[in-house]
Amino acid sequence: MSLIWIVGAGELASAVGWRLSKSGYAVVMTEIANPLAVRRPICFSEAVHQGKCVVESVVGELASSDICDFDSGDIKVLVDPDGSSARGLNPDAVVDARMLKKDIESVAWPELFTIGLGPGFTCAQNADAVIETHRMARLGEVILKGSASSNTGEPGPVNGITHSRLLRSPADGVLKTKCKIGDLVSAQQVIGTVSGEPLIAEIDGLLRGLVHSSAELKAGVKVGDIDPRGNKVDPGKITDKGLAVAGGVLEALLSEGILPIR
């Protein structure tokens, strides 16, 4: 079975891991010790907090490199910021899904077939293949020459709403919540506090994402996401964007001859 290492375990990374696992690949994902994922029901980074999590019937399990057993089909999640443990597992390819959205100087893993997600990656410079992550470009396209679209700094619109649907930490500290993911909230409602400062919703909608209560926050960092479509949205479902990007990664692997079964 081919082993794919995914750097990061946030929303897009998790969509990739989910699709590759469903396609028969062994998957290991590496995370930092303090994940800041917002849409946690669809992020395998939750395994760092809980020890085990489930994303649409696929299990993510917190593990260490010396006891990774891929026969179960579960995705293994390592707290491994520099990737040293994951490298020791001899993966067949690496997917850099950190979504740094800035230029990355060089190939971090030159010995591995490297797929980069989104802005910051250029073929033959710091990746072998790049997957487009911009909705207004060719979302999910496999790029083998050139770069993905540049980061615009503009959140994707939902019902025409961009920045005001996001919740950002009002201070440094940890979030003490008054709401949970899946709740319907109203504009001007206090969602929680950070170091005594209120986190206030700007719009009505469904609370689609919220960082874990143990996450150490900096003022201004994204901590939540309100979807103005309300109950029409299921926060436990991988997004269409995630599925498109994951399909691009699968195409890139298959085109390179990296098959689920060696």
Strand order from edge to edge, sheet including 190-194: 175-177, 190-194, 197-200
Residue 8 pLDDT greater than 70, yes or no: yes
Alpha-carbon distances of 77 from 6, 29, 100, 205, 211, rounded to whole Å: 9, 5, 20, 32, 18
Point out the least confidently predicted range of 138-152, 206-220, 221-235: 138-152
The domain defined by 3-151+240-255 folds into Rossmann fold (3.40.50)
pLDDT at site 10: 96
In DSSP terms, 75 is beta-bridged to 60
Report which of 67, 113, 119, 116 is spatially closest to residue 91, judged by C-alpha positions.
113
Q: Residue 120 and residue 82: Cα distance in Å, rounded? A: 19
Residue 194 pLDDT greater than 80, yes or no: yes
pLDDT at site 107: 64
In DSSP terms, 55 is beta-bridged to 58
Question: What ranges do the domains of the chain cover?
Answer: 3-151+240-255, 163-228
% of the chain residues with pLDDT over 90:
76
Tens digit of each residue's pLDDT (9 = 90 or more) over 126-164:
899 999 999 887 999 999 999 888 877 778 788 888 889
Tens digit of each residue's pLDDT (9 = 90 or more) over 17-50:
999 999 999 999 999 999 999 999 999 999 999 9
Whether the model clears a pTM of 0.75, i.e. scores above it, the answer is: yes
Domain 163-228 has CATH 2.40.50.100: yes
pLDDT at site 41: 97
pLDDT at site 262: 63
Tens digit of each residue's pLDDT (9 = 90 or more) over 61-112:
999 877 777 777 899 999 999 888 888 899 999 999 998 777 676 667 788 9
* Residue position matching structure tokens 């699709």: 19
pLDDT at site 105: 64
Average pLDDT, the chain: 92
